[in-house]
A = this chain, B = another copy of it.
């Protein structure tokens, strides 16, 4: 019997009525001949309520107790979903993380999945159960305590089950209807992609297209799990949503498949840094320790033993970054002339696996920005992505211009 994993996020199970709508989608897949594993999040708002209580009681909480508390929202939804399916005469039961068991390490609050034995569920499927409803986001530690997987952990739960049970696909039901070429709020020409490669999805996700948790996409890529993102709130058809899959399952890809952006970036430049081995470590070590999420790093050529070092980070972390650099400087770790901060920039990127075999993408990108009179402050490139920092006021214009230039409104 073919297995299918279906995951429903918090807004898709926010009320008993919505749980019923989700259950109807499950029933359709059972009728299609699948044994289904359903992963559910907590009802929208419930996890925040629980986290709020914990914060109110204990700002420096014991992560083991935090996990015991916040995991309870998913348990409620799992039971309610199983009851809803039973009402529709579908043999179903719920499983909490420890019952499966979904085994994790002991890193409470951000645990990693170590094993999902298939024995217990297989046995029940063998006895005629058609749907196993799993409380997402949670597992059990080697010490027998409840763990949670961290933000977006239910996506990761879903992919891990799809891998363990060799599911034909993992459908992630959410409140958007798929992955778009760019943010539809910025250009109405944004087009839903039918398919996207894992690598592209990873670049788009980490760049701000927050549809799937990065970790779940990495896991899907490693185990070859076909992921489909689709909406709980729209009519279903076979081509609904976006399939995230291996590159070789995508024919005739466009060279560029998406334009991503990150609005609130800051550019920090250390002028006149001494150019010696170990200087990068001396600068970025303290930044990392201070919890600054450094993104782009650019080092210019050296002149007279001095160089300029530029990096970007979120605007919200600028104060912390300055403090860390000045402290390291005062401690005598390194010398520099001046620290120049521009907290008025945005990042815009074009992403596509086709870039690997096509030259001229960078040139086309720079030309498009030039045509709009947009000055580029910093450039970085990877195998399937080119990113630039530009003044924030041009961000929307840049996204629109690049979407037009690469003709992303046209299906490949």
A interface residue numbers (CB < 8 A to B): 16, 19-20, 50, 53-54, 56-58, 61-62, 64-66, 68-69, 72-73, 75-76, 78-80, 82-84, 86-87, 93-94, 96, 98-99, 144-146
Contact = CB atoms under 8 A, between A and B. Distances in A.
Nearest to A62: B86
B72 A76 contact: yes
B53 A80 contact: yes
Given A62-B86, A64-B93, A99-B144, A75 B80 contact: no
Contact of A75 (B72, B94, B145): B72
Main SS of the interface on chain A? helix
25 contacts: A16-B53, A19-B57, A50-B76, A54-B80, A57-B83, A57-B84, A57-B87, A61-B86, A62-B82, A62-B93, A64-B93, A65-B83, A65-B93, A65-B94, A66-B79, A66-B83, A68-B75, A68-B78, A68-B79, A69-B79, A72-B73, A72-B76, A96-B146, A98-B98, A99-B145
A78 to B, nearest CB: 7
Given A68-B75, A72-B72, A78-B68, A83 B54 contact: yes
A30 B94 CA distance: 39
Nearest to A55: B16
Contacts of A57: 16, 19-20, 80, 83-84, 87
Contact of A61 (B64, B75, B83): B83
B68 A96 contact: yes
A38 to B, nearest CB: 13
